[in-house]
Amino acid sequence: MSKILNEVLLANRDYVAGFDKADLAMPPARQFAILTCMDARLDPAKYAGLSEGDAHVVRNAGGRASDDAIRSLVISYKLLGTKEWFVIHHTDCGMETFSNEIMTDLCASSLETASVDASGWHDHGAGPGSTEAKYINWLTIKNQAESVLEDVNRIKAHPLVPANIPVYGYVYDVKSGSLIEVPEATAAGRAS
Amino acid sequence: MSKILNEVLLANRDYVAGFDKADLAMPPARQFAILTCMDARLDPAKYAGLSEGDAHVVRNAGGRASDDAIRSLVISYKLLGTKEWFVIHHTDCGMETFSNEIMTDLCASSLETASVDASGWHDHGAGPGSTEAKYINWLTIKNQAESVLEDVNRIKAHPLVPANIPVYGYVYDVKSGSLIEVPEATAAGRAS
Is the pLDDT confidence value at A100 over 90? no
B97 contacts on A by Cβ (under 8 Å): 26, 79
Whether B171 is covered by a domain: the verdict is: yes
**Cβ contact A171:A145 at 8 Å:** yes
**pLDDT tens per residue across span A27-78:** 999 999 999 999 999 999 999 999 999 999 999 999 999 989 999 999 999 9
Nearest residue of B to residue A122, measured between CA atoms: B128
Closest CA to A177 of A38, A34, A37, A47: A47
Is the pLDDT confidence value at A130 over 90? no
Cα–Cα distance for residue pair B124/A120, rounded to 1 Å: 8
* DSSP notation for B76-94: HHHTT---EEEEEEETT-G
Nearest residue of B to residue A180, measured between CA atoms: B9
**Cβ contact B168:B85 at 8 Å:** yes
Specify the pLDDT at position A184. Answer: 95
**Is there a single domain that holds both residue A80 and residue A146?**
yes
**Is there a single domain that holds both residue B92 and residue B104?**
no
Specify the pLDDT at position A76. Answer: 96
The range of the structural domain enclosing residue A93 comes to 3-98+139-190
Q: Which residues of B are annotated as a binding site for Zn(2+)?
A: 37, 39, 90, 93
Nearest residue of B to residue A129, measured between CA atoms: B129
CATH number of the domain enclosing A68: 3.40.1050.10
**Cβ contact A82:A164 at 8 Å:** no
**Is there a single domain that holds both residue B87 and residue B172?**
yes
B21 and A41 within 8 Å at the Cβ level: the answer is yes
ipTM over 0.85: yes
**Is there a single domain that holds both residue B33 and residue B84?**
yes
Cα–Cα distance for residue pair A57/A35, rounded to 1 Å: 6
Among A7, A75, A124, select the one facing B67 at the smallest CB separation: A124
pLDDT band at residue A135 using 50, 70 and 90 as cut-offs? low
* DSSP notation for A53-77: TSEEEEEETT----HHHHHHHHHHH
B59 contacts on A by Cβ (under 8 Å): 57-60
Provide the β-strand partners of residue A168.
A86
**Percent of chain A with pLDDT strictly greater than 70:** 84
Q: In terms of pLDDT, which residue wins out, B126 or A166?
A: A166
**Is there a single domain that holds both residue B84 and residue B163?**
yes
**Is there a single domain that holds both residue B92 and residue B106?**
no
Among A12, A43, A119, select the one facing B178 at the smallest CB separation: A12
**Is there a single domain that holds both residue B149 and residue B89?**
yes
Mean pLDDT along residues A10-31? 98
**Is there a single domain that holds both residue A117 and residue A151?**
no
A35 contacts on B by Cβ (under 8 Å): none
Whether B10 is covered by a domain: the verdict is: no
**Is there a single domain that holds both residue B73 and residue B88?**
yes
Chain B: closest CA distance from residue A143 (Å): 17
Whether B24 is covered by a domain: the verdict is: no
State how beta strands B32-37 and A179-181 pair. unpaired
**pLDDT tens per residue across span B102-114:** 887 888 766 655 4
**Cβ contact B48:A34 at 8 Å:** no
Among A8, A45, A94, select the one facing B48 at the smallest CB separation: A8
Specify the pLDDT at position A105. Answer: 81
**Is there a single domain that holds both residue A77 and residue A147?**
yes
Q: Among A56, A87, A136, A168, pick the best mutation site for testing chain B contact (most B Cβ within 10 A).
A: A56
C-alpha torsion angle, residues B157, B161, B165, B171 (rounded to 10):
-60
pLDDT band at residue A109 using 50, 70 and 90 as cut-offs? low
Q: Among A36, A47, A82, A91, pick the best mutation site for testing chain B contact (most B Cβ within 10 A).
A: A47
Cα–Cα distance for residue pair A69/A153, rounded to 1 Å: 14
A154 contacts on B by Cβ (under 8 Å): 119
**Is there a single domain that holds both residue B34 and residue B126?**
no
Mean pLDDT along residues B19-45? 98
Cα–Cα distance for residue pair B125/A126, rounded to 1 Å: 17
B96 contacts on A by Cβ (under 8 Å): none
A32 and B119 within 8 Å at the Cβ level: the answer is no
* Number of structural domains in chain B: 2
**Number of Cβ pairs closer than 8 Å across A and B?**
282
